[in-house]
Every structure is written in structure tokens, then in C-alpha cells.
Amino acid sequence: MPGRCCVATAGGWNGSSVSAEAFFSQYTLNGFWEAGVFASDYKLPMNVGGSLHYEHLAVAGGYQFRLAATRNRAVNLYGGGGAFIGVELFDPMYRLPAYYSLSVKRESFLYGIYARTEAEFFLGRRLALTAGASARLTPSSIRMFHFVVGLGLKLII
């Protein structure tokens, strides 16, 4: 399918909350490149009680190499990575009491790299179910490593 374009959307779980992503991609001979957006919500317990919620909103792009496939290409396994930039929001819904002082600004610049593995299972000629895992590395002020697993749909255009 080299040259074929597709749109994909997925929902994920990061251990504390959900995330969502949408990507546009184009197949090449040995994989596909991707460009899109993701939004992830995280929460961390605080030692004074309650949880600190923070979100990552970013644009991302990368390349996935085909690692394995069935003979008829109905099932494919990809691995690769990319980079992202965006914004990190701390306590975006103002859930913390006003007397708690965050030691960071409420929003900050976000950037990093990600490693990703994804399996696609074709349900028809133009529709595939995807299952994947992504590890994001960012110099965040809260946590540097974020892991997300998810399920999604891919529509071949």
C-alpha cells in the first residue's frame, strides 16, 4: 500500500487517566510516517492529600517501521518513534484549593521524543483496528517518562 493515506484515532490509558490522539499518515514501502495531535490527562497524589492533575496537549510527528506482517498483510506490527511539541497545563480545572501554591507556572512549554509500537488488524480493505503502546520522554517539571497503551481505528483513504 505504498502511497496510501489514512487517518487514525485512538484512546489510551496511562495508568491514572485517559488520553486521545488523532494522526494522519501515509504508507511507504517499509512502514508509514505520521503527523497529528495528542492530549493526555495525568494525576499524581500529593503528600498533603488530594491529587495534582496536569495535561499534555501537543502536535507530534514520526515514522513507524514494519517489523513483521502476515503474508497477506492483514496483520502488521510496527515500531518507531518521533518528536512532539506543545503545552503542559498544571491544575487546568482549578481543582486544588486556593491556599495550595504550585511551585511551577500553570502552563509551560512541552517538548520531547517518543518510542512507539503498534499492531494493526485489518477488518476490511479500508478499515483497521489498532493496538499500541507509546513511551514519551520529556523534560517535564513533574515526571520525565510517560507510558500510554491504547486502542484505535484507522481508516484508509
How many Cβ atoms from other residues are within 10 Å of residue 87's Cβ? 12
Residue 8 pLDDT exceeds 70: yes
**Phi, psi for residue 9 in degrees, rounded to 5:** -135, 145
Q: How far apart are CA 147 and CA 115, in angstroms?
A: 10
CA dihedral angle for residue 92, residue 98, residue 104, residue 108, rounded to 10 degrees: 20
Domain count, the chain: 1
| Predicted pLDDT at 106 | 75
Q: What is the pLDDT of residues 99-138, one digit of tens each?
A: 666 666 778 899 999 999 999 999 998 999 999 999 999 9
Handedness of CA 52, 57, 60, 65 (dihedral sign): positive
Q: What are the residue ranges of helices labelled H in the chain? A: none
Look-up of cell digits 503542559: 88
Q: Could you tell me if 62 and 82 are in contact, meaning their C-beta atoms sit under 8 angstroms apart?
A: yes
Percent of the chain with pLDDT over 70: 87
Cell numbers describing residue 71: 503474508
Return all residues near 124 (Cβ < 8 A) that are at least 6 apart: none
Query: What is the pLDDT, as a whole number, of residue 98?
Result: 63
Q: Identify the CATH number of the domain in which residue 89 sits.
A: 2.40.160.20
Of the two residues 74 and 101, the one the predictor is more confident about is 74
Are 106 and 95 in contact by the 8 Å Cβ rule? The answer is no
59 pLDDT higher than 70: yes
Question: What domain range is 20 assigned to?
Answer: 5-156
> pLDDT-derived band of residue 51, with 50, 70 and 90 as boundaries?
confident
Distance from CA of residue 134 to its chain's centroid? 6
